[in-house]
Amino acid sequence: MKSTSTAATAPRGNSGETGTDLAPEAVNEICESLRAPLADAFALYLKTKSFHWHMTGRHFRDYHLLLDEQADQIFAMTDDIAERARKIGGTALRSIGDVARHQRLSDNDEELVPRNGMLMEPRQDSLRLTRFLRATHAVCDKHGDVASASLIENWIDQAKRRTGVLAEIVESWPE
């Protein structure tokens, strides 16, 4: 029978060792905490990429390139998050369905999104992602997982920079 559990309890390798000094309960809690921001990053990546594809109007080239650059940065974060979960002996997301079950950021399935929405929505999502990452950082701190916490600090910094760039554009638009 196929297991539907998302817990990170199975050690890797023939020796039964995961290569971490974290307790199994810590691995479970940290990996569970990493799954949600991983799912959120995938959701934000796809939304940002969609807005990149559908951008039109004045400053098209600038916004098109900006969103592509931000999407690439977000996508790179997904690999780092998943690999971190694996390094400590846990599991990462396995499918689009798994992403949907864990994501907290909303999708945007609208046929037409105004240009300002294509910049304001990722800005708001990046703010939310920053808050979610801080909560995950607290879980890592609780268990003494300084390596995961350090990576999360970088992802928070990246999210804050993305937010700042988008905020600068949105706030400079004429009324």
Average pLDDT of adjacent 10-residue blocks, the chain of 175 residues = 40 49 94 97 97 92 96 97 95 96 96 92 96 98 97 97 94 70
Taking the C-alpha atoms of residue 45 and residue 47, their distance in angstroms, rounded to an integer, is 6
Inter-residue contact 16 to 10 (CB < 8 Å): no
Q: Look up residue 174 and give its two tokens.
A: 């004429």
**Predicted pLDDT at 115:** 86
**Predicted pLDDT at 18:** 54
Taking the C-alpha atoms of residue 33 and residue 140, their distance in angstroms, rounded to an integer, is 9
**Predicted pLDDT at 17:** 52
**Predicted pLDDT at 6:** 42
Opening angle at CA 100, ends 24 and 94, nearest 5: 50
Architecture of domain 24-172: Up-down Bundle (1.20)
Count Cβ atoms within 10 A of the Cβ of residue 168 and give its class: 0-12 exposed, 13-18 middle, 19 or more buried. exposed
**Predicted pLDDT at 31:** 96
Residues 6+ apart with CB under 8 A from 74: 41, 44, 45, 48, 162
**Predicted pLDDT at 146:** 96
Query: Tokens 């910094």 appear where?
Result: 157
Q: Look up residue 78 and give its two tokens.
A: 């997904």
Q: Where are the domains of the chain?
A: 24-172
